[in-house]
Structure 1
């Protein structure tokens, strides 16, 4: 019996030593690299937008315009805005959209035109019929916006015909939409 007790005690001690956790300290350092990725998209923004004014020439006007500033002679004043494209871009302009016009005013020609503050020869114009064969007919499909540069724009418009019917008196309100597409 003593022998069995001694044998059991021996196995118990041997098991405790054999299956005890290691208590050794680790040496050396460990490091890990955590990756980051992302994409920065191109964007265009408008700022400093100022409305234009519409005026009709003479006592029997045939059109209403807001283009002084683009042309030395004209009516009303051109609107202004600044565009900036982070990676460059192009700018197009839509035809003027009537918000409020007198009854019976349905002009055959509505046209918008864009020029930069530093070069007042027109760069782009809306699609559709042209007001005349002069400056309003000099059309480029879009204006190139350089990378990261504030480009000050003048926005003009005209509605009516040079030799058309006299336009009705009343309140006129239009809006012109500019679209800047980043590269």
Structure 2
């Protein structure tokens, strides 16, 4: 570099080349990038479909309720197997076919004599996702908004709730076949 002293030339060269004691040099780019690379992104993505199911199994006792046995009765009438991969959660709603007929509330009714026996529903639940372990009094006096299980922020795999009916037997019922239908519906949030 003409017109520069050796000292100035070394300082000017230091901006472009740094000499390391082993004799290996590292070239610095003027923009300050030590190691620069060109990059393009690859977006990796996949989808998992919502898979929420409910499978209700009726217990044999549901078909032979001890309606005339005196005293309080608690009879297991079914189980509800649940699976739901949507972590927001779901509810299990329960309805009765006879609930809205007067008097309001769940009841088994004999279609010939029109006599009835009132009952209430009960769910025994796993507590995953904040579910209440025991929900009682379902359909006793209200026909809408009856929730047997409420799951929030949990993925449920093969969990089972047990369904009971509670009633007081009546030895004075007329002969006949007393029926009602419970429907259990999973409502995904």
TM-score w.r.t. the length of structure 1 is 0.48
TM-score normalised per structure 2: 0.47
